[in-house]
């Protein structure tokens, strides 16, 4: 049985057996509905429609272990057709700077609750580079709840130079909601409505001058929400992308994303600057918005660095939308190496050493 690869993000969980040049067969929301006992008995008890939602993963890290266990049970036994008593091997992707306690609790859950036969974990930045055929470079990963900038040299994340920002897609959605409410007063927008508008309309202006022009435009488009209400979308569509290059829009005193990348690399030994900057990889669904790559390259050409960042294009044989699940694809590539070569944590390793074995065997 092929190893299962799981990349669990704050918004979506990607899972499937290790087939490196394909998209993950499972892409499902990480958020879960909790069963609510309404006091009745029989098949209709526990009305899911009224159940509150729970987020097992917040800003990239597992926060609710009971919910995570339920989510993984569904993924492994229903989604991937594992059989109880005949569990296989699993590779997890690790977000940047995952706390040691979280890694240990995850490996404990996998061996003691799910009885896996083998386990491995690797950092998302390393895996995203593997997906485009690199072992050195820098990833700029814009997730639902965080932005991670991680230089990687010879397959090892340079943690001292890495940067994490506690903003992400959810903050851009909230920003868009505020902007839409200004131009569409008395519209009570749900988060899911704003998310839909963001996916359909969010774009990046060519540069800050072009952005200012969009803000003076009165052109709008009508968008019909699922409940039938009509909303007008205009200059707000450009605010989402611009906030990544001008964080002051979000009320943050910080440099834009390209300058953050350059500053991150500047703390690494200068002999590696070219290798890192010229192998920059964008990850996360936000980076796929129209105009984002072009704006990134334009900002790079204006950056303070003598060596300008440049983006790596995915190989043609890789699936479309690779930026959205590059860590999963890299995990599928790595799984084809670590498990056949017995580099993973085995049940014997775990029984002998306990959860701390994950730090010794998984880099």
pTM for this prediction: 0.93
- d(CA 180, CA 200) in angstroms, rounded, equals 14
Per-residue model confidence as pLDDT tens digits over 93-113: 999 999 999 999 999 999 999
CATH fold for the domain made of 4-125+321-361: Nucleotidyltransferase; domain 5 (3.30.420)
CATH fold for the domain made of 169-247: Actin; Chain A, domain 4 (3.90.640)
Number of Cβ within a 10 Å radius of residue 354 = 13
Which residues of the chain, if any, have pLDDT below 50?
A: 39-48
- The CATH 3.30.420.40 domain(s) of the chain lie at 4-125+321-361
pLDDT of residue 304: 80
pLDDT of residue 37: 52
Name the token pair of 359: 């730090």
Number of helical (H) and strand (E) elements in the chain, helices listed first: 13, 17
∠211-212-214 over CA atoms, to 5°? 65
- d(CA 174, CA 45) in angstroms, rounded, equals 34
pLDDT of residue 50: 54
pLDDT of residue 177: 96
pLDDT of residue 45: 36
- d(CA 56, CA 10) in angstroms, rounded, equals 8
Number of Cβ within a 10 Å radius of residue 227 = 8
pLDDT of residue 188: 87
Helix (H, G, I), strand (E, B) or coil at 256: coil
Contact 51, 33 (CB under 8 A): yes
Torsion angle defined by CA atoms of residues 301, 303, 305 and 307, in that order, rounded to the nearest 10 degrees:
-20
Percentage of the chain beyond pLDDT 70 is 95
Beta bridge partners of 149: 140, 163
Measured in whole angstroms, the distance separating CA 139 from the mean position of its chain's CA atoms is 12
The single residue listed with the structure tokens 């690494």 is 268
């Amino acid at each position: 049985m092929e190893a299962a690869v799981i990349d669990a993000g704050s918004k979506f969980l990607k899972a499937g057996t290790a087939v490196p040049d394909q998209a993950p067969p499972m892409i499902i929301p990480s958020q879960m509905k909790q069963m609510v006992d309404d006091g009745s008995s029989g098949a209709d008890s526990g009305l899911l429609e009224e159940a509150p939602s729970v987020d097992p993963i917040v800003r990239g890290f597992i926060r609710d272990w009971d919910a995570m266990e339920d989510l993984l049970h569904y993924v492994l036994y229903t989604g991937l057709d594992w059989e109880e008593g005949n569990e296989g091997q699993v590779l997890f992707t690790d977000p940047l700077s995952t706390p040691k306690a979280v890694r240990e609790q995850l490996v404990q859950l996998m061996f003691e609750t799910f009885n896996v036969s083998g386990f491995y974990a690797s950092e998302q930045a390393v895996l995203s580079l593997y997906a485009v055929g690199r072992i050195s470079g820098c990833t700029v990963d814009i997730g639902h709840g965080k932005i991670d900038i991680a230089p990687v040299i010879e397959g090892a994340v340079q943690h001292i130079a890495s940067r994490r920002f506690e903003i992400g897609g959810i903050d851009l959605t909230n920003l868009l909601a505020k902007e839409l409410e200004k131009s569409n007063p008395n519209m009570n927008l749900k988060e899911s409505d704003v998310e839909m508008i963001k996916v359909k309309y969010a774009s990046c202006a060519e540069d800050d001058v072009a952005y200012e022009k969009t803000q003076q435009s009165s052109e709008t488009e009508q968008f019909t929400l699922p409940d039938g209400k009509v909303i007008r979308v205009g200059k707000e569509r450009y605010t989402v992308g611009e906030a990544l290059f001008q964080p002051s829009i979000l009320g943050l005193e910080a440099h834009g994303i390209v300058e953050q990348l350059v500053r991150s690399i500047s703390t690494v030994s200068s002999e590696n600057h070219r290798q890192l900057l010229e192998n920059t990889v964008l990850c996360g669904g936000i980076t796929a918005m129209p105009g984002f790559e072009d704006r990134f390259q334009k900002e790079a050409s204006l950056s303070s660095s003598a060596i300008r960042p440049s983006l790596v294009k995915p190989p043609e044989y890789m699936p479309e939308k690779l930026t959205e699940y590059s860590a999963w694809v890299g995990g599928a590539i790595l799984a084809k190496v670590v498990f056949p070569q017995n580099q993973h944590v085995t049940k014997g390793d775990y029984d002998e050493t306990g959860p701390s074995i994950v730090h010794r065997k998984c880099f």
